[in-house]
Structure 1
Amino acid sequence: MNTPMLSDRAFRAHKARGVLYTVISALLFGVTPVLASQTFDMGSNANTLTFYRNLLVVPVLLIVMLVKKIPFGLTKKELGLMLLVGVAFRASTTFMLYQSYAYISVGTATTLHFMYPMVTAVLCFVVFHEKLKREKIAALVIALVGVMLFADKAGADAVPGLVLALASAVTYACYLTGMDKTDLRNMNGTKVACYMGLFNALAVLIVDQIPHQIVFVLPPRAMLYTFIIAMCTSFVAFWLLQRGIQVLGAPTAAIFCLFEPIGSVVSGALFLGERMNLRSTLGCVCVLGAVLVTVLSDRKEKSTI
């Protein structure tokens, strides 16, 4: 990651903004399943939520682009990147993760999905030859232990779900890396979010031609909750995550994304009455410990410059 030369105070402020962007993004992604579960009780499902989560944000983003006079044009390269990183990686991640719920518990699926920080670090190390410091490796190991503490036991017929959840970790790592290592990194965040929302919605609609699981007419309250989810994830959280990746780089941002399961556990306890047992509490502590190691590592790196 190419970072302009900054003073120590400016560097820390710059990094702090990146951390704040990424953490808020992760918490938004983590809290919205509470609303998602409410929409499922009102007749929605995973395919419907994925479709509307992407589609509903497009008109809002179009208005923002018009007001801010953001150009709509895309080069062939940008279009290709949108389709690759957005549809092939981001949309497929959501689809596979939701599909895994049919075979394994949400806890187990989420645990396997959150292997993506490790996959992201390995991708950047192998493909882009980024240095993987000992402190970062330690943080990833601690985070892995923390995430595993969120896991439930999988049954004997869970192989398809395990494969889907693990595959979602790989595709999401590819998405984060693509947002960091391609021209999408420097594109306007609103423009990227708008086109990805449109392309992803179309992709889900095409895939649904076989199962026909999208429910196009939902109760008003379900549509309201779905709209809130769309705005929080495909607009606000997406934009914040892109900014966080720009500042921190994909491997470090992926670690701070681990606030998402913490947000899910805490919001589930507060709003759905789910109990926080000792395992989930220790998992939260391990994730926070991994974040602390990452922060201290970044400070050490700056002090040696």
Structure 2
Amino acid sequence: MRQKGFLLCGLSAISFGFVPLFTKVVMQEGMDVVAIGFFRFLGLGLFSLGMIRLQKRPFSIEIKRFPAIVADSFFQVVTMLLLSASYLFIPTGNATSLHFMYPVFVFLILYLYYKNRFSGMQWLALVLCAAGIVCFIDFDNMNNWIGMGIAIASGLTYAIYMVILDKQGLAQIDPFVLSFIGCVLETVFLAILGLGMGSFHLSLNASGVLSLVILAGLSVCGTLLLQVGTRYIGSGMASLFCLFEPLTSLICGWMILKDPLRWGSVLGCLLIFGGILLILKPPKRSQMKKIKWIKK
């Protein structure tokens, strides 16, 4: 099951890695981030509802889980808004790189609050992945502390989202049911915010509409795969595998958008791959009982 969790989280990250490419197309058509988020969550919610009805899945959750779902939905929306706000102060590449330091926050929350214990190999993997993300940063344009702080805060809120998903038992809920309930909460919040900001004056052409539909599809794949993958490997390991997302975005930007490729980014890719390979390596049989992979 561990290998299945690794695969699902990796595919989730790759799905999310294509999001910036299509988001850029939609934003060029005049749609802001609140409206984009609204339609992404709306599409995910409608798809989840359709799967629930089609497969006749039981639509029920324990009442005690509902506060955790509300909190998780809140942190997911706040993450999106904080990351978008950071773009106003620092380059998007730097903001995204700082956001992807969230595996460090996930590990620290699990270690300090939940008292999880990690093997030396897992800590080394975290250090390599964090160093890889640092290599993506263009320090020549890192001169606004407000933007840096907002981007880092978006990483912290996303880390909290992942830990709640794992530790509050949300990953054990049917993924379609969880996604539908979460999306209802998120779309209501973004609808209120968007109406107040005048975000829904839409004038998309065919390319923009197609990109928006693809964005919703990527959100479906990324969110559902992450929820199921976290069930198998826990939030700590899932956070590291989510680093396939910036790698995918980097490759897409280079191949499709013709973005320049820095040597620092290449080194960052190698470090992240090295860190992921470390946790893919199975522990020795004699040590299997000593090493606990996040889940207790």
Within the candidate set 49, 64, 67, 1:62 is matched to: 49
Question: Is 1:22 aligned to 2:9, yes or no?
Answer: yes
Partner Cα separation in structure 1 for residue 248 and residue 98 of structure 2: 17
Residue 72 of structure 2 is matched in structure 1 by 85
Change (3 A) 1:159 1:130: same
Greater shift, 129-138 or 284-293, is seen at: 129-138
User: Deviation at 1:303?
Assistant: 5.2
Residue 7 of structure 1 is matched in structure 2 by none
How many residue pairs are counted as aligned between the two chains? Answer: 288
Matches within 5 A, 1:1-305: 14-87=1-74, 89-153=75-139, 154-156=141-143, 158-233=144-219, 235-296=220-281, 298-300=282-284, 304-305=288-289
The amino acid across from 1:221 in the alignment is S
Q: Deviations over 1:100-121 (max 9, x none)?
A: 1111111111111111101101
* Contact 1:52 1:230 (C-alpha < 8 Å) held by counterparts: yes
* Contact 2:65 2:168 (C-alpha < 8 Å) held by counterparts: no
What SS does structure 2 have at the residue aligned with 1:299? coil
* Contact 2:22 2:211 (C-alpha < 8 Å) held by counterparts: yes
Partner Cα separation in structure 2 for residue 290 and residue 214 of structure 1: 42
Partner Cα separation in structure 1 for residue 14 and residue 24 of structure 2: 17
- Structure 2 unaligned blocks of 5 or more: 290-296
Residue 292 of structure 2 is matched in structure 1 by none
- Structure 1 unaligned blocks of 5 or more: 1-13
Q: Deviations over 1:81-101 (max 9, x none)?
A: 2110112x1111111111111
User: Deviation at 1:40?
Assistant: 1.5
Q: Deviations over 1:43-74 (max 9, x none)?
A: 22222211111112222221111011123344
Change (3 A) 1:220 1:140: same
Q: Deviations over 1:226-271 (max 9, x none)?
A: 12111212x1111111111111111111111111110000011111
Q: Calculate the TM-score normalised by the size of structure 1.
A: 0.89
The amino acid across from 2:57 in the alignment is I
Partner Cα separation in structure 1 for residue 4 and residue 93 of structure 2: 30
Partner Cα separation in structure 1 for residue 10 and residue 163 of structure 2: 18
Partner Cα separation in structure 2 for residue 236 and residue 302 of structure 1: 37
What SS does structure 2 have at the residue aligned with 1:276? coil
Residue 6 of structure 1 is matched in structure 2 by none
User: Deviation at 1:211?
Assistant: 3.0
Q: CA RMSD in A?
A: 1.7
Partner Cα separation in structure 2 for residue 35 and residue 209 of structure 1: 23
* Contact 1:19 1:253 (C-alpha < 8 Å) held by counterparts: yes
Q: Calculate the TM-score normalised by the size of structure 2.
A: 0.92
Partner Cα separation in structure 2 for residue 173 and residue 276 of structure 1: 28
Partner Cα separation in structure 2 for residue 217 and residue 66 of structure 1: 32
Partner Cα separation in structure 2 for residue 301 and residue 248 of structure 1: 18
Q: Deviations over 1:180-229 (max 9, x none)?
A: 11131210001111121221111122233443334445333312211211
Greater shift, 203-212 or 41-50, is seen at: 203-212
